[in-house]
Amino acid sequence: MYGLVNKAIQDMVCSRFGEEIWKDIKQKAEVNVDVFLSMEGYPDNITHRLVKAASVVLGLSSTEIMQAFGEFWVQYTAQEGYGEMMDMSGDTLPEFLENLDNLHARVGVSFPKLKPPSFECTDMEDNSLNLHYRSSREGLTPMILGLVKGLGTRFDTEVHVTQTQSRDEGAEHDEFLVLYKPN
Ligand SMILES: O=C(O)CCCCN(CCc1ccccc1OCc1ccc(-c2ccc(Oc3ccccc3)cc2)cc1)Cc1ccc(C(=O)O)cc1
């Protein structure tokens, strides 16, 4: 995972709980990286250890941490220089979700170590769609719930996401029913 992800986790924790809590989390995760470099590739395991340690230190479940992080990621990347790229990816929540693979392909051109998941939208109706999430990574599914919630905020759109298929329960990939209503 690019360091930008671990940096975003750090910024979320520091902004909400302070530097001391972040130090505790890094210590518990046995991660002794001083500064995460956005454009450096880090083992996914570091991200998983930081999430696990944050859930212990903060007394929240890993699912809650990943959902909060997904929501935070949308605003974080927009303010960390990817705002234009996000603007180009759609003016509405369904448009953005439909263009997500193109967004990743664009980032991947410059940063070949990117290993993006794939998102596919089917059964598009006025206020609903099925979102298919396929990834080479395990255990980040709750982040997708948060990401879609974060997009709801970004597009001032009421959004309700329920997972309808789960890889953990034997499905080929995770699938979500996304209900949305622009305000
Ligand atoms: O792998 C999984 O199964 C779950 C990953 C969920 C995280 N993605 C979130 C995608 C997303 C979903 C909804 C709304 C917005 C989203 O992201 C927009 C986005 C996507 C990628 C980047 C990005 C930009 C530069 C990156 O790397 C850098 C950073 C600085 C300098 C050089 C390279 C890495 C990701 C920025 C915004 C983004 C992403 C982040 C990192 C990677 C990767 O390192 O492979 C792949 C994808």
ipTM of the complex: 0.93
**CB distance 8 to 77 below 8 Å:** yes
Residue 143's pLDDT is 97
Q: What is the distance in A from the centroid of ligand 1 to the CA of 32?
A: 23
Q: Is the CB of 9 under 6 A from ligand 1?
A: no
Atom of ligand 1 nearest to the CA of 111: 33
pLDDT, mean of residues 105-122: 95
pLDDT bin (cut points 50, 70, 90) of residue 156 is very high
Residue 77's pLDDT is 97
Dump pLDDT digits (tens) for 3-54.
999 999 999 999 999 999 999 999 999 999 999 999 999 999 999 999 999 9
Q: Which of the listed residues 1, 92, 107, 135 should we mutate to test ligand 1's pocket, taking the one with most ligand atoms within 8 A of CB? A: 107
Dump pLDDT digits (tens) for 132-145.
999 999 999 999 99
Q: Is the CB of 74 under 6 A from ligand 1?
A: yes
Atom of ligand 1 nearest to the CA of 113: 45
Residue 44's pLDDT is 96
pLDDT, mean of residues 54-79: 98
CA–CA separation, 48 vs 138, rounded Å? 10
Q: CB neighbours (10 Å) of residue 4?
A: 21
Give the helix/strand (H/E) hosting 29: none
Phi/psi-derived region of residue 84, left when phi > 0, alpha when psi is between -120 and 50, beta in every other case: alpha
Atom of ligand 1 nearest to the CA of 137: 3
Q: Comparing C-alpha atoms, which of 92, 97, 91 is closest to residue 131?
A: 97
Q: Comparing C-alpha atoms, which of 123, 47, 111, 66 is closest to residue 85?
A: 111
Q: Is the CB of 57 under 6 A from ligand 1?
A: no
pLDDT bin (cut points 50, 70, 90) of residue 75 is very high
CA–CA separation, 31 vs 48, rounded Å? 11
pLDDT bin (cut points 50, 70, 90) of residue 162 is very high
pLDDT, mean of residues 63-70: 98
pLDDT, mean of residues 111-121: 96
Residue % of the chain over a pLDDT of 70 = 100
Q: What is the distance in A from the centroid of ligand 1 to the CA of 30?
A: 24
pTM: 0.95
